[in-house]
Amino acid sequence: MLLEVKDLVKSFGDTEVLHGISFSAESGTALGLLGRNGAGKTTTIRILMDVFRADSGEITLDGNPFSAGDHWIGYLPEERGLYPKKKVCEQMVYLARLRGIHKTKAMENVDYWLDRLEISEYKNEKLEKLSKGNQQKVQLAATLVANPEIVILDEPFSGLDPVNAQLLKDVLNEMIAEGKIVIFSSHQMPLVEEFCDDIVILNHGDVVVSGRLKDIKKEYGENRLILSSDNYSMPELRKVLESQMSDIVKIDKEKKNFFVLEQKPKVTRERILGRLLNSSVKIEKFGVFEPSLSDIFVAKAGDEYE
């Protein structure tokens, strides 16, 4: 399946919050939908789910007009949406039944997901009695109880300890392997890197980055190197670079224990390495800079994110 978002525009009153965004998500891979608060992520998700209507643009699935009501969509919101004073089983069955699933099958699905997420013992407990992490697992089970074709997860790891986070990772990988369309939104960049082959970064209602994460990393890291020293502190190494090597490199950024250097035009890595070997710098680490998703996010969406 290929879900395509094409030129979506959306305004609230006189404020246009989406300025013609386009991206695609395909089955068997996870798409990371990223952006700072207010970038347009939630509005986009609500248009996908037909909560809002776009002012213009279209969404297609395999080339045909997409209507959320014609497909099973599982949505895990960042804010919990279940009923705290209702029993876990009762509300999960209710949600499955709303999607047209027969009661017997709904009960089977509930049992499966509670067992898969290791929370079967809370089946007949009121949600409010569970820990924050177990409430999150119930929320995820409710998202998946109708076996959705499209899964949209907003901060799914919120409140999970490392053991439960690993359990959720396993479930996510299973969904991707089953060929579901998975759209993953989170501010935890290492988790996005772990799951998502493709990313879209929104900034103030525009798509500022879109495509294969590995290709984006390669492009962003082009002509950049890392350097750390055994015998110089970072301030001392900076002085050496600025006084002795400014004709061939410039400091792009300073990390905790190394510099990211940008090669000047027509300067090779070999030339830079040769200059370093002939200097007083004892090289601890020298090589091609591979940016993290956080590096790319900050560069494209601002100097900080929440």
Q: What is the pLDDT of residues 27-36, one digit of tens each?
A: 988 999 999 8
Q: For the domain 222-301, what is the CATH code?
A: 3.30.70
42: tokens are 């939630």
Tell me the domain boundaries of the chain: 2-212, 222-301
- Angle at which helix 132-144 crosses helix 103-116, to 10 degrees, equals 140
Over the chain, what is the mean pLDDT? 91
- Cα separation, 178 vs 134, in Å, equals 25
At residue 303, does pLDDT exceed 60? no
Does this model's pTM top 0.75? yes
CA distance 265 to 249: 9
Element (H, E) at 20: strand 15-26
Beta bridge mates, 21: 8
Strands (DSSP E) contained in 62-180 are: 64-65, 73-76, 150-154
In this structure, are residues 76 and 152 in contact, taking their beta carbons and an 8 Å threshold?
yes
Which residue's entry shows tokens 């601890």? 284
Token pair, residue 290, equals 């591979």
pLDDT digits (tens, 9 = 90+) for 122-170: 999 999 999 989 999 999 999 999 999 999 999 888 888 899 889 988 9
Query: What's the confidence (pLDDT) of residue 299?
Result: 85
CB atoms within 10 A of CB 118: 13
pLDDT of 302 above 80: no
The pLDDT value given to residue 78: 81
- In the block, tokens 């969509």 appear at 73
- Identify the three-state secondary structure at position 13: coil
For the record, the structure tokens of 275 come out as: 């200059």
- Superfamily of domain covering 2-212: P-loop containing nucleotide triphosphate hydrolases (3.40.50.300)
Reported as a single tens digit per residue, the pLDDT across 7-65 is 999 999 999 999 999 999 999 889 999 998 889 999 999 999 999 999 999 999 999 99
**pLDDT tens-digit profile of 182-211?**
999 888 888 889 889 999 999 999 999 999
The dihedral region occupied by 292, where left means phi > 0, alpha psi between -120 and 50, and beta the remainder, is beta
Taking only the tens place, the pLDDT of each residue in 78-118 is 877 788 999 999 999 999 998 889 999 999 999 999 999 99
Judge contact between 228 and 259, C-beta under 8 A: yes
Strand runs (DSSP E) across 213-267, as ranges? Answer: 224-229, 249-254, 259-263
